[in-house]
Structure 1
Amino acid sequence: MRIVFMGTPDFAVASLNTLLDNGYEVAAVVTQPDKPKGRKRTLTPPPVKEAALARGLQVLQPARMRSPEAVEALAALQPDLIVTAAYGQILPKEVLELPRLGCINVHGSLLPRYRGGAPIQRAIINGEAVTGVTIMYMAEGLDTGDMISRVEVPILDSDTSGDLFAKLSEAGAQLLAQTLPSIVDGTASATPQNHEEATYAPNLNREDERLDWNRSARELYNQVRGLAPMAGAFTYLNGEVFKVWACKPEPQSDDSAAAPGTVLPGASGSLLVQTGDGALRLLTIQPAGKKAMDAEAWLQGARLPAGTRFGGEPQ
């Protein structure tokens, strides 16, 4: 059986390695094009490409999977099965119909909840206590295909999206290894999704990263850990971007009458900020033009005037 694997970020690497470690023939790996990263904009390959090349696999990187050239190149591989995991492009009908065993996807949520490109981050941001991985047959809609198997994974109160990505990556790889034999021998059951229960997890944008101090301390805490360690949450201080990488909710503040976003006095050297409900203790922050640092150490040198407030708009 010839498998074509499609994936891009670290989340997908474990699934690729599982296929190889279990003796499946991976005819090629399809991943997104290399992208510039960092301040120097260095062209950087995606993690799946690096993993594939390390194992001597052929790698394809079409800019558009819908292009006739990409579909033709894929058809030439004559795949029996296509396995995807966080590939990052929607597959056209021509690709979905290529393999005789179909196309399956390792998706980082318990479908039909959190369809879309950011299910892991949004599960944390929304305060979910449990998530998981679903393996499904792919259809033309956005994560709408019939479900084959699933596994639940609890979300700890301390989990960041980085932590949860790692957990779901391993859970998805193990589920893939358990599920593939039934797909190969034709005994896999396919359960249609209840589309009325569907929720969506679109890719994050800049506004998703902005802290609204009118929200509760718990909601802001979930937002911060759901964005770490990738994009990070941000606010403004004196009109400049001020990032928050780690924090801790407090049940009540020393001055509950303070306006949301106000830095609270008398917090024993801690950077404590009033929210719409409770206070948020900032632990790791990143002022504009600086590296991430300990919030208490920064506060000692910053000497903020009384009544300092986070928020507002950029200068």
Structure 2
Amino acid sequence: MKVLFIGCVEFSYQLLKTVHEQTDAEIVGIVSKEHSTFNADFKSLIPFAIENNIPYLNFLNNEQLSEWLSCLEYDVIYCFGWSHLLPLNIIKTAKLGAIGYHPALLPENRGRHPIIWALALGLEETGSTFFFMDEGADSGDIVSQVKVRIEKHDTAMDLYKKLMDVAKKQVIQFTKELMQGSLTTIPQDHQKANYWRKRTKQDGLIDWRMTSESIYNLVRALYKPYVGAHCCYNGHDYKVWKVSIEDMNKFNVKQNIEPGKVIKVFQNKNSFIVKTGDGIIEVLQHEFKNLPKEGEYLI
């Protein structure tokens, strides 16, 4: 079976290696990008293509892609970690169709930034889902789906790695089934679908009026490889990478203290305690150049 592989992030690279090294499928072409300012976890697949003597395309637009594909023969398209919708005319060039990937329990939670939203919303589980691509977004028949537990301590990096480990096993299995002609799919129930929107910089701003748990979830959702949550102090934005929820009684903090007030500063730990909408949190990892002083306010 001949595979055209499309992707441009670390997840794409790991699955490309898996297909190349652990299946009998032949990768006959790779579509990727040399550079990207869009993907926080960007990784070009072009060096892999060069190293393994596989034809490749540095993607510019779908017109260029369509022209390049006219000279290539392949049975199926694997499109994993790609921020562009493949048009139907390109999908139809593959005899077996095009398979995409979405880290959610489709048909729920289609759309943008599924790892970030799952953590920010405090979900307890998500999914690793491969599906046949169609003209919609994340709407085609399901090829393989596995539930993935989200632990309370999981950051975006933790969940990213969990999903990647599960997806590697899935791609080996359904590639084998595709080659044997034994693959079965499950149509999505579109009545159960919802779409997550594209996040903005404002979505990463810590509003200290939020609950401690909401702030905790936001911070871990935007942990590396993503951009990080941020807050404002003395007119400047500072990244916050890790926080912990603390007991107000331990620090003798009353509920009538306003959100955003700095309660305690620990110079030896380079951390500080901040009042939230319903409690307190300790800011443990951050990019503050100078720690705020006790009694000051973050906004």
Do both proteins adopt the same fold according to a TM-score greater than 0.5, normalized to the shorter chain? yes
Q: Which one of 227, 232, 245 corresponds to residue 228 of structure 2?
A: 232
Whether the 8 Å contact between 1:8 and 1:86 is mirrored in structure 2 is yes
- Flag the 1:168–1:50 CA change in 2: closer, same or farther, 3 A: farther
1:310 aligns with 2:298: yes
Give the deviation of 1:101 after TM superposition: 0.5
Moved more, 161-170 or 27-36: 27-36
Q: Structure 1 vs Structure 2: percent identity of aligned residues?
A: 29
Structure 1 residues 132-151: aligned runs within 5 Å:
132-151=127-146
Q: Helix, strand or coil: the match of 1:35? A: coil
Whether the 8 Å contact between 2:13 and 2:43 is mirrored in structure 1 is no
Q: Provide the residue aligned with 1:198 in structure 2.
A: 193
TM-score (norm 1): 0.85
Give the deviation of 1:246 after TM superposition: 0.6
- Flag the 1:215–1:165 CA change in 2: closer, same or farther, 3 A: same
Give the deviation of 1:36 after TM superposition: 5.9
Stretches of structure 2 that go unaligned for 5 or more consecutive residues are none
- Flag the 1:61–1:116 CA change in 2: closer, same or farther, 3 A: farther
Whether the 8 Å contact between 2:243 and 2:282 is mirrored in structure 1 is yes
- Flag the 1:181–1:242 CA change in 2: closer, same or farther, 3 A: same
Distance in 1, Cα, partners of 2:51 & 2:154:
30
Q: Provide the residue aligned with 1:156 in structure 2.
A: 151
- Flag the 1:255–1:147 CA change in 2: closer, same or farther, 3 A: same
Q: Provide the residue aligned with 2:207 in structure 1.
A: 212
Post-superposition Cα deviations, 1:9-40, rounded to whole Å, max 9, x if no partner, equal 11112211111112321011111341369xxx
Distance in 2, Cα, partners of 1:49 & 1:203:
27
Q: Helix, strand or coil: the match of 2:274? A: strand
Structure 1 residues 1-315: aligned runs within 5 Å:
1-21=1-21, 22-35=23-36, 46-65=43-62, 67=63, 69-229=64-224, 230-252=226-248, 254-265=253-264, 270-287=271-288, 290=289, 299=291, 304=293, 306-311=294-299
Post-superposition Cα deviations, 1:79-116, rounded to whole Å, max 9, x if no partner, equal 11000111111000111100111101122111112212
Whether the 8 Å contact between 1:12 and 1:169 is mirrored in structure 2 is no
Stretches of structure 1 that go unaligned for 5 or more consecutive residues are 38-43, 291-297
Give the deviation of 1:267 after TM superposition: 7.7
Q: Provide the residue aligned with 1:293 in structure 2.
A: none
- Flag the 1:51–1:164 CA change in 2: closer, same or farther, 3 A: farther
Quick one: which amino acid aligns to residue 43 of structure 2? P
- Flag the 1:45–1:86 CA change in 2: closer, same or farther, 3 A: closer
Whether the 8 Å contact between 1:33 and 1:63 is mirrored in structure 2 is no
Quick one: which amino acid aligns to residue 80 of structure 1? D
Following superposition, which runs of at least 4 residues in structure 1 exceed 6 angstroms of deviation? 266-269
Post-superposition Cα deviations, 1:180-223, rounded to whole Å, max 9, x if no partner, equal 22223333222111122222233332111111111111111110
Distance in 1, Cα, partners of 2:32 & 2:108:
25
